[in-house]
Amino acid sequence: MEKLIITAALTGGEFVSKMLTPYVPSTVDEIVEEVVRCYRAGASIVHLHAKEPKTGLPHPDPNSVFPEYVKRIRESEASDIIINITTGGGRPLPKEFAQAMGIEQKYTVEEYEKLLDKWMEERMKFGQEMSSLNMGSINIWEDLGIPVLRNQIFANPLSRIELWAKFMYENNVKPELEIYDTGMINTAKALVKEGKLKEPLHIQFVMFDGLSCMSPTPETLLYCVHNIPESWTWSVCAPGKYEMQMAAMAIIMGGHVRVGMEDNIYVEKGVLAKSNAELVEKAVRIAKELGREIATPDEAREILGLKKG
């Protein structure tokens, strides 16, 4: 069995902020320090969202800070780590919800949508080796008791997926395909046939549960893995209390794992993780107990077919 790739998702999107946990890294210094801690702990990939430094809420202008994240990480002890930048989080929330959370938004939903493709083309030039690519549109993840959220759609039509994949390939960025529901596997297969996605693919099964995503169960994961070609690599991300349970399943089955505060802010029930590295260390302990070796960044590059830039 190939070595285990551990991704640390350090910062999170809309709902992970200082209001939930004081430990989420938000400033450039905090984020770089967390990358180094996770690298030491055994992570070979870091997945990043752009954070507003004081609150930890989504940064109103993500592309203004991503280049600094990349530059500083490359100058750090973790210079060898694989950087994965999101194309997902940070989209404007419904006005009523943003006001309730005290979030000041620079753009309306309509303004943001008009500029999004331009921003993503620019974002693929920041020097990362990977970027996430959501493989379809999603309704709300969770019902937080706020009726306006039931109107929200996280839109990713096929035309957008194709265009952003094109931006990635033009800049030697490997897409990490985020699969929120089983039908998105078929989308990936279809885009391969059409030449829009290049094999071997790297898939991440996002087992979020909630109102519109896959349930974090062994049966669901078995179905997903059974329905992708053996040449594709895959990872599991199971936000919340199922993070380590599904990570253990992936480790046993030969897949890879993602952990971190984007998905889970607790190191155990009721105990906040003080660093993302604590979650990486926990995944490493599980892997070692199950007899799976941990991949270094360069070993992860070989597994994923990346060329170190």
At residue 112, the pLDDT reads 74
Res. 18: pLDDT tops 70 = yes
How far apart, in whole angstroms, are the C-alpha atoms of residue 155 and residue 137?
4
At residue 208, the pLDDT reads 87
37: Cβ contacts below 8 Å, ≥ 6 apart? 275, 276, 277
Among 80-84, 175-179, 238-242, 275-279, where is mean pLDDT lowest?
A: 238-242
Res. 102: pLDDT tops 80 = no
Res. 12: pLDDT tops 90 = no
Alpha-helix runs per DSSP H in the chain: 28-41, 66-74, 95-101, 109-123, 158-170, 183-193, 218-226, 243-253, 276-289, 297-304
Domain architecture of the chain: domains with CATH: 6-304 (3.20.20.70)
How far apart, in whole angstroms, are the C-alpha atoms of residue 128 and residue 293?
25
Res. 237: pLDDT tops 90 = yes
**Rounded mean pLDDT, 96-123:** 77
pTM: 0.94
Q: How confident is the model at residue 223 (pLDDT cuts 50, 70, 90)?
A: very high
CA distance between the termini of the chain: 27
Q: Is the peptide bond before 200 cis (omega within 30 degrees of 0)?
A: yes
Higher pLDDT, 109 or 64: 64
At residue 154, the pLDDT reads 81
How far apart, in whole angstroms, are the C-alpha atoms of residue 271 and residue 274?
9
203-214 per-position pLDDT tens digit? 999 998 777 789
Res. 78: pLDDT tops 90 = yes
* Percent of the chain topping pLDDT 90: 77
Task: Extract the tokens encoding 203.
Answer: 């898939």
**Rounded mean pLDDT, 44-69:** 94
* Contact between 32 and 68 (Cβ < 8 Å): no
CA quadruple 300, 156, 98, 35: dihedral, nearest 10:
10
Among 3-7, 106-110, 225-229, where is mean pLDDT lowest?
A: 106-110
At residue 14, the pLDDT reads 74
* Contact between 8 and 47 (Cβ < 8 Å): yes
Res. 15: pLDDT tops 70 = yes
Res. 146: pLDDT tops 80 = no
Res. 42: pLDDT tops 80 = yes
At residue 209, the pLDDT reads 78
Query: Could you identify the residue written with the tokens 């989504």?
Result: 58
How far apart, in whole angstroms, are the C-alpha atoms of residue 202 and residue 156?
18
